[in-house]
Amino acid sequence: MQLKQQRGQLIILSGPSGAGKGTVCQAAMAHSSSLKISISATTRAPRGEEKDGVEYFFLDEAEFEKKIEEGAFLEYAKVHDHYYGTPKAHVLQMLDEGMNVILEIDVQGAAQIKEKLGFGILIFIAPPSIEVLKERLVNRQTDSDAQIQLRMKNAMSELKQATQYDYVIVNNTVDQAVADLEAIIRAEQCRSQNNLEIIEEMLM
């Protein structure tokens, strides 16, 4: 008898700018074919060789606002005159297919999504120290001193929210952070409530 495929895990990932969320996500996906990052929808125009359904789902403003009214987004925001949102149906479809889905969301959006869906693993990616965080931001060489100071101020506010998360991964090195992420996903997959259907099938 073939057992039913286990539903994927929803991983809601947050952390301050410079903590290395994006790097950890990309490295983790390179390790596992069952790990996917959710594609956001946006009203901004494609850049360069960006393709619809690959980097983003590109919608015009009327389409996006219609989907807001329909409740089609897990969360959305308007940034620099463009909408960005997480399509609910796309995420749920990947979970039903057994994929583990990462949503890289800010601390406000993370709480909203878990409350709306009633499930999800909240993981906070933290730097090993404030000094290392500032060093990483400076080494990017993409932000002005004023922008770096603003990001540092925002980071202090975001760090205060880490206690609201299920797990905290301190990103000393990317390899260790990925190993920690994979260990969390494996542990969550082994939770009793995630395997009750398998047990019940064996008892039938």
The pLDDT tens digits of the residues spanning 73-88 come to: 998 888 778 898 999 9
pLDDT of amino acid 1: 47
Q: How far apart are CA 122 and CA 115, in angstroms?
A: 11
The fold of 1-34+99-204 is Rossmann fold (3.40.50)
Residue ranges in the chain modelled with pLDDT below 70 = 1-5
pLDDT tens digits, one per residue of 133-176: 999 888 887 778 888 898 899 899 999 999 999 999 999 999 99
Binding-site residues? 15-22
The two structure tokens encoding residue 40: 């956001």
Helix residue spans in the chain (DSSP H): 21-31, 61-69, 88-96, 107-117, 130-140, 145-159, 174-189, 196-203
Domains 1-34+99-204 and 39-97 agree in fold: no
The residue ranges of every structural domain in the chain are 1-34+99-204, 39-97
The fold of 39-97 is Guanylate Kinase phosphate binding domain (3.30.63)
Give me the amino acid identity at 5.
Q
Binding-site residues for ATP? 15-22
pLDDT of amino acid 199: 79
